[in-house]
Amino acid sequence: MSTRLPNAGRLIDASKQIEFSFNGKRLKGYEGDTLASALLANDQMLVGRSFKYHRPRGIVASGAEEPNALMNMGEGGQFEPNQRATTTELFDGLAAKSQNHWPSLDFDVGAINTHLARFLPAGFYYKMFIHPRPFWKHVYEPIIRKSAGLGRAPKDRDQDRYEHFYTFVDVLVVGGGVAGLQAALAAGQSGANVLLIEQTADWGGRAQVDGGEVDGKPVADWIASTLKALDDLPNVTRRDRLMGAGVYDHGYALGYERVNDHTPSNAGPRHRLWRIRAKQIVTATGAIERPLSFAGNDIPGVMLASAVRDYAVNFGVSVGDRTVVVTNNDDAYLTAIAMKNAGLDVPAILDARASANGDLVQQAIDMGIRLEFGRAIAAVKGGKRVTGVKVCAQIGEGAVLSEIDCEVVAMSGGWSPVVHLWSHCGGKLNWDVEQQMFRPDATRPPTSHDGEAMVTVAGIANGYLDLNNVLQDADQAGKNAAKAAGSKPKTAKAPTASEATISPMEPVWLMPQGAPIKKRMKAWLDFQNDVKVSDVQLAAQEGYESVEHTKRYTTLGMATDQGKLSNINGLAVLSKALNADIPQVGTTTFRPPYTPISMGAIAGEARGKVFQPLRRTPIHDWNMANGADPEPVGQWHRPFAYVEQGETVHEAVNREVLNTRQNLGLLDASTLGKIIVKGPDAGKFLDMMYTNMMSSLKPGKCRYGLVCTENGFLMDDGVVARIDDDTYLCHTTTGGADRIHAHMEEWLQTEWWDWKVYTANVTEQFAQIAVVGPNARKVLEKLGGMDVSKEALPFMTWADGIIGGFDCRAYRISFSGELSYEIAVPASQGQAFWDALIEAGQEFGVMPYGTETLHILRAEKGFIMIGDESDGTVIPQDLNLQWAISKKKEDFLGKRAQLRSHMADPDRWKLVGLETLDGSVLPDGAYVVADGTNANGQRNMIGRVTSTYYSATLDRGIAMGLVLHGPDRMGEVLDIPKTDGTIIKTRIVDPVIYDKDGEKQNV
Amino acid sequence: MLILDCPYCGTSADETELSPGGEAHIKRYGPGSSDTDFEGYLFGRENPKGVHFERWRHANGCGKWFHAARCTMTLEVFGTYAAQTFEPPQEIKDKISAKRPGWSWRDFS
Ligand SMILES: [Zn+2]
């Protein structure tokens, strides 16, 4: 069993016991434990089930590369799935649950899949589930959804806080191991502004466990003194629990700081996303040990050799009494030595190499450890935990030579430098044949704005595995980065470490090399996604030659660990199957983030009320205090309706509609875009912007206009008023103000830059109030001031003046079909003017109305609404707006496009009114269907509903829609199905259903 | 997350301040143009792996449009310049020639 050793590990404080739970079981650990070390100390070898076969899974690694030990963590608003136990620091009260099993971790129904493995080969989903089509939706998908997936999705709102932090540095050093420390020191001593970040809470990296001497002293002493030297430099900042997540264009890097994951009751944010701009980046990110591929390498108790000694040295945890080490390199001997030093048994080191004579090998021999060269594991014995191994010759097919009882198998297939950050932004790799690893190619670095390298790799990540080379390489990297960032490097020499003799490693991609299919089907490459050696070989056999295709076909490396353990091994198996060299096959793309980061960190503070700014009209507060049901429109909150006590929203809308038609309505129209276009060429410019002629508009007059894109599609609409010879005021839709202003600026600045025109977006400078209804003139006359009579201020004109003592500009325009004035006053006067209208309007039955009433009133009049009748594929001609398209103008934006054959196609759907025979309200977005089916077997469609409302004026549903040959089919009855399959019989009618001759607005 | 220098206000602008505007130096074809010319104007774009000329707007800044010459492969920026021009300034073309001898882009080289 796995247990705690009497000698405490270097990271834990044995005097501080803390309590946590796993699957509801209460367990004890120490301060300084990770969840993984604490589970192992409690003999919890089984920590999860694999994705496809639901195989028992144990902890494999001790760091970010862990594929198996993924947990559902926390409860309610702090619940989060897929948390790696190896990077989760233990805290009092931590509650973790294992994933991907049903009904329980120990007994899992899905494990039956493992017996079906022969029938679930690579690409199984693609092969099996594609036919018959309907089966996918009704049979396969529901079953797969239920049994697949790792953690549960959180249900509650995240109760924690997250934040972003921006910083600018000369040199960012990622990784706090020996290389990172020396690089930071060299850069810092050169005077550069340095930020040094380390993803764990422990500085010094692997050297803390693996040892060595620097300048004649233990490496741990050197680490301590270097940390102090760094802290003494005012230009160096050092932060832990901060992972380098990604490297992007021009020295931009993301850091992911787990501020309070280990102290969840502390104040402050849980995570902090660092948005770093660095002149130079040094990645000292170390390496990850590779597993070996042998039958049963996924059984709990088979672990990376480095992880086995990490748990012993760092946490005082023995994974088992007897550890068999299996390796193709010297490094794994450290594990055997560490186990012996901890008083544990090492029955054998199985070294796949024919011989080895490095210092560590000699040390193991001197300690009396049994050493077997040329040996491999034929099979691991055990189910939910290792009970022993069967030994065979590496060069054979797996004939068992002996059996060894053990609880732990410590495997090492060599090391893969962590080149992720180097590669994120285009750094290239070389294959190092001697060390069998991809290393950064310094001649092909990721480059910055000046075309120069922006990332340097240091230490093990750069392919230097021994301590002395690490120090020299890191020192140079730090100096080079400082120099490239503009500092003058100091000439100080790098510290030196004793050099060791290392015997060459030997590539071993399958164990034994001639393993038959039965063994290859049990030799796992990707533990989390259940991809085996046989799967990759099958993919190659089926013609998947590209590594990117093989990855997707087999799902190798596509799990939450993104192939940190499996990619190189899978690649090697693939290249062997293709009979190609590894560099020829190439790697998959490294994409940020390095390990998954929380969605909360990405969102930062941008959620809830601060997700985006709220724009308020001068009347916003009054609206909200008077029953406004807020509707987000752009960044505004407009009143959908003003709901009175005891009323539903629907009832409020009906009341507002009737009152506006019969008495007097007020609309806060301040959100409408208002753009001043001014200059000698303003008319000429607007003739290009609008489909109508604007240059011929007389000062004092208003004209409705359409704005199209150069593709011909309708983009916006609104009323344009000519203020004087050189000045126009263009109204846009609420959502269109910024867009149309930008559109104008784009054309002015980039196409007609010699035209004398200026634009200004004055939307927020004015409050604009629509005074609407038969009593509109009465209330204005009561307030008194300018002449608002039909004669003085006819329909589609405007005038400046004073009403009720307010300086104002009154437009006689109507979007409702009623007698209507839109009156603009300076924003600062908006609320006072509104108050005056409400007070004076009491005797005329005044009521404010919201956007829904606005929509219904316009729909009754057949007026289009941008975003309802238009959707980016609609041209004005579709909406019967030919009258607003000038035939006289030689050119306007969209004119040429509207002449293209498809735009002039008589079969384009056109706008009509729709009237249900039973008076019901059509569903929004419903389609009009015709007889027959299309090539996909769907009902033929001949139209769709664009606007649909209940009209209180007419006491029935009203609608508009685009219908094939619609205007030629007046009176025809169409079929419009609802989602429940029933049909609504609907007649094509004129879209204008209220006051067709415009007698009410023109009074 | 590119950084581009706005030639109007002088700011070294982070990409979050900018909005992209696609390819630069596109000649507008209006009414009277052939279908082929018009199609090319609306939809024909270079999409090069290497030297490219783009339009950007300092949208969350001074609001001005400008052009940028950069390498789509290495992200190297050769220079930014005012949008009110039909071709890149000679000094930027020279700079590109020094770094990418033999380059060409549409009619420029
Ligand atoms: Zn600018």
H helices of A464-527, where?
A: 467-484, 517-520
Distance CA A944, CA A910 (A): 10
Where does residue B62 fall: left (phi above 0), alpha (psi -120 to 50 degrees), or beta otherwise?
alpha
pLDDT for A927-966, tens place per residue? 999 999 999 888 899 999 999 999 999 999 999 999 999 9
Distance B5 CA to ligand 1 centre (A): 8
Contact (CB, 8 A) for A565 and A61:
yes
Peptide bond into A593 cis (omega under 30): yes
Q: Taking 60 as the threshold, does the pLDDT of residue A129 lie above it?
A: no
Mean pLDDT of A382-395: 96
Please report residues of B whose CB lies closer than 8 A to that of A425: 75
Helices of type H across A909-957: none
pLDDT at A981: 87
Q: What is the mean pLDDT of residues B9-18?
A: 96
**Chains A and B: how many Cβ contacts under 8 Å?**
70
Q: In the structure encoding, which two tokens stand for residue A484, read together?
A: 């490239």
Say yes or no to pLDDT of A11 above 60.
Answer: yes
Residue tagged 């935990």 (tokens): A385
Residues A360, A671: Cα–Cα separation, whole Å = 76
* Predicted pLDDT of residue A594: 97
Q: What is the pTM of this model?
A: 0.92
pLDDT in tens, A268-284: 999 999 999 999 999 99
H helices of A190-274, in order, are 207-210, 219-232
Radius of gyration for chain A, computed over Cα atoms and rounded to the nearest angstrom: 37
Position A557 scores a pLDDT of: 86
- Residue B95 in contact with residue A450, Cβ under 8 Å? no
**Where do runs of H (alpha helix) occur along chain B?**
35-43, 90-99
- Percent helix, strand, coil in chain A, to 5, is 25, 30, 45
Res A112: pLDDT: 60
> Could you give the 3-state DSSP secondary structure of residue B108?
strand
Candidate from A448, A746, A897 with C-beta closest to B65: A746
Kindly give, in sequence order, each residue whose CB lies less than 8 Å from that of residue A102, ignoring residues fewer than 6 positions away. A108, A109, A110, A147
Q: What is the pLDDT of residue A51?
A: 75
Distance between CA atoms of residues A328 and A415, nearest Å: 11
Cα–Cα distance between A289 and A364 in angstroms, integer? 20
Mean pLDDT on A505-529 = 94
Residues of A in contact with B32 (CB under 8 A): 896
Handedness of CA A854, A858, A859, A863 (dihedral sign): negative
Tell me which amino acid residue B83 is.
A
- Cα-to-centroid distance, A677 and ligand 1 (Å): 22
Model confidence at B94: pLDDT above 70: yes
Q: What is the pLDDT of residues A693-729, one digit of tens each?
A: 999 999 999 999 999 999 999 999 999 999 999 999 9
Rounded to the nearest angstrom, the distance between the alpha carbon of A251 and the centre of ligand 1 is: 21
Q: Residue A134: pLDDT above 80?
A: no
Q: Write down the pLDDT at residue A54.
A: 80
- Rounded Cα distance between A155 and A14, Å, is 37
Q: What is the mean pLDDT of residues A809-815?
A: 96
pLDDT confidence of A115, banded at 50, 70, 90? low
Question: Confidence band (pLDDT; 50, 70, 90) for A50?
Answer: confident
Question: Does residue A653 have a pLDDT over 70?
Answer: yes
Distance A397 CA to ligand 1 centre (A): 69
Q: Which domains does chain A have, with CATH numbers?
A: 3-112 (3.10.20.440), 163-287+417-484 (3.50.50.60), 319-411 (3.50.50.60), 523-585 (1.10.10.1100), 619-663+848-866 (no CATH), 674-763 (3.30.70.1400), 764-844 (3.30.1360.120), 906-1003 (2.40.30.110)
- Taking any CB pair shorter than 8 Å as contact, residues of chain B touching chain A are 1-3, 14-15, 21, 28-33, 35, 38, 42, 55, 57, 59, 63-65, 71, 73-77, 83-84, 99
Q: Residue ranges of the alpha helices (H) in A267-304?
A: none
Of A246-250, A307-311, A842-846, A937-941, which gets the smallest average pLDDT?
A937-941
Average pLDDT of span B12-23: 96
Distance from CA of A434 to the nearest CA of B (A): 30
Among A248, A745, A897, the residue with its CB nearest the CB of B63 is A745
What tokens does A695 get? 């240059």
Q: How far is CA A712 from CA A66, A923, B23, B35, B44, in A?
A: 55, 29, 20, 14, 17
pLDDT of residue A940: 95
CATH of B3-99, one of 1.20.120.80, 3.30.2270.10, 3.90.1300.10, 1.10.730.10: 3.30.2270.10
Q: What is the mean pLDDT of chain A?
A: 94
- Is A561's pLDDT higher than 60? yes
Residue A142: per-residue pLDDT: 60
Task: State chain B's maximal CA–CA distance in angstroms.
Answer: 42
Report the distance separating Cα A584 and Cα A546, nearest Å.
10
Model pLDDT for residues A318-361, shown as the tens digit of each residue: 999 999 999 999 999 999 999 999 999 999 999 999 999 999 99
CA distance A768 to A808: 9
Which residues touch A180 (CB under 8 Å, ≥6 apart)? A173, A174, A196, A198, A205, A282, A284, A458, A459, A474
- pLDDT grade, residue A147 (50/70/90)? low
Which residue ranges make up each domain of chain B?
3-99
Other C-beta atoms lying within 10 Å of the C-beta of residue B64 = 18
How far apart are the CA of A275 and the centre of ligand 1, in A?
22
CA–CA separation, A249 vs A253, rounded Å?
Answer: 8
* Across A228-252, average pLDDT: 98
Determine the distance in angstroms separating the CA of B57 from the nearest CA of chain A, rounded to an integer: 9
Whether residues B42 and A890 touch (CB distance < 8 A) is answered with no
Q: Min CA distance, A893 vs chain B (Å)?
A: 8
Residues in A touching B2 (Cβ below 8 Å): 249-250, 449
d(CA A929, CA A414): 65
Verify whether the Cβ–Cβ distance B77 to A745 is below 8 Å: no
Share of chain A above pLDDT 70, in %: 95
Q: What is the pLDDT of residue B7?
A: 97
ipTM comes to 0.98
User: Which of A749, A753, A902 to mutate: most B Cβ within 10 Å?
Assistant: A749
Contact A273, A162 (CB under 8 A): yes
Q: How far apart are CA A763 and CA A676, in angstroms?
A: 9
**Residue A107 above 70 pLDDT?**
no
Select the highest-mean-pLDDT range: A52-66, A151-165, A336-350, A545-559. Answer: A336-350
